[in-house]
């Protein structure tokens, strides 16, 4: 395989120009999608102080990076403060984020709490540590948000995380439930937002590579990766490879639910449903199977969401 440096100078310059154009397009797309999510769900308002949770992974770096770009050009004023929780996992390179954030000139706070030892102590060897670990982390982040006077807490979950959660809840939890783009925290005191809700994981990976974020590996805790999540993730990637646009269609579906065509009596009053004697202007489709468009042809663009 040819590396750009092996190509003849003219080609190399051409390839470089093409790469630059692609990265410029990607930057515009990321800013547009994050901006759309923020506006659509009213995630950030005038005067907000947004605490951006940084783990050292590609997604949270991308989140901070794009929010900084939007902050510079937004018609409203809001503050950003980056927060990392150092959980004292063995080998955690504690200098990486402070160095990166200092160089960037972003206000930040590193909270050091040894949740790793607590989790190791409480969970028997071989059992999954993630649920206790995330519960502890959540509590700490809410406290830090209070201390910093943050009005919003931003997390780096993206479109693919949301769709994985939807399928995991359907397959294993028996619920039609994904990850909300905006929610009130369990203690009722904070608003948590996911500005990357419309962004694909692929785009975030490419952006992280382009921006050369100093990624901190996420395997330091030694916890087994969630196998079911991995399998569902692989299934989604395979669908997207074979039918480009399918994941955006699924995300679109999450924004256009039809409770009368599901089976939840809490969402639609099936019990009280009676004939009204008034014809449905859409015509009698009651016994028809809905025609489905070919997902490999119909690509719903994120701008259609608005
Ligand atoms: S992977 Fe490790 S750090 Fe992440 S939630 Fe699970 S136990 Fe905690």
Q: What is the topology classification, in CATH, of domain 15-165+175-222?
A: Rossmann fold (3.40.50)
Q: Let me know: does 43 contact 37? Beta carbons within 8 Å.
A: yes
- The two three-digit tokens of residue 149, written as one number: 């006077």
pLDDT tens digits, 183-230: 998 778 999 999 999 999 999 999 999 999 999 987 767 766 678 889
Mean confidence (pLDDT) of the chain:
89
**Could you give the 3-state DSSP secondary structure of residue 79?**
strand
Which of 56, 121, 133, 136 for a ligand 1 pocket mutation test, highest count of atoms within 8 Å of Cβ? 133
pTM: 0.88
Tell me, in angstroms, the distance from the centre of ligand 1 to residue 27's CA.
Answer: 30
Residues with CB under 6 A from ligand 1: 129-130, 133-134, 221, 223
Q: Where are the domains of the chain?
A: 15-165+175-222
Name which residue sits closest to atom 5 of ligand 1, judged by CA: 130
Helices of type H across the chain: 9-40, 58-73, 96-104, 115-122, 130-148, 159-168, 201-211, 227-242, 246-254
Select the highest-mean-pLDDT range: 4-8, 11-15, 79-83, 217-221. Answer: 79-83
Task: Please name the residues in contact with 104: beta carbons below 8 A apart, sequence gap of 6 or more.
Answer: 68
């Amino acid at each position: 395989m040819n590396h750009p440096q092996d190509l003849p100078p003219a080609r190399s310059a051409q390839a470089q120009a093409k790469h630059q154009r692609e990265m410029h397009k990607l930057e515009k797309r990321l800013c547009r999608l994050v901006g759309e999510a923020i506006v659509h769900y009213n995630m950030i308002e005038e005067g907000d102080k947004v605490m951006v949770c940084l783990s050292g992974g590609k997604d949270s770096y991308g989140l901070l990076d794009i929010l900084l770009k939007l902050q510079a050009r937004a018609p409203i004023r809001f503050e950003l403060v980056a927060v990392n929780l150092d959980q004292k996992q063995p080998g955690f390179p504690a200098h990486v984020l402070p160095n990166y954030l200092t160089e960037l000139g972003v206000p930040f706070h590193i909270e050091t709490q040894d949740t790793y030892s607590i989790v190791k102590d409480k969970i028997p060897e071989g059992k999954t540590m993630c649920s206790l670990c995330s519960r502890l982390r959540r509590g700490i982040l809410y406290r830090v948000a209070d201390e910093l006077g943050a009005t919003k807490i931003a997390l780096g979950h993206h479109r693919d995380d949301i769709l994985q959660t939807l399928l995991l809840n359907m397959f294993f939890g028996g619920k039609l439930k994904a990850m909300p783009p905006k929610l009130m925290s369990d203690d009722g005191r904070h608003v948590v937002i996911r500005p990357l809700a419309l962004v694909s994981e692929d785009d975030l990976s490419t952006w992280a590579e382009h921006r050369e974020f100093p990624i901190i590996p996420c395997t330091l805790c030694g916890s087994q990766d969630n196998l079911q999540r991995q399998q569902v993730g692989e299934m989604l990637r395979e669908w997207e490879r074979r039918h480009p646009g399918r994941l955006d269609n699924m995300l679109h579906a999450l924004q256009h639910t039809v409770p009368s065509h599901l089976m939840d009596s809490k969402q639609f009053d099936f019990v009280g449903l009676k004939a009204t004697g008034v014809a449905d202007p859409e015509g009698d489709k009651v016994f028809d199977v809905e025609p489905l468009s070919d997902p490999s042809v119909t690509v719903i663009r994120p701008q259609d969401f608005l």
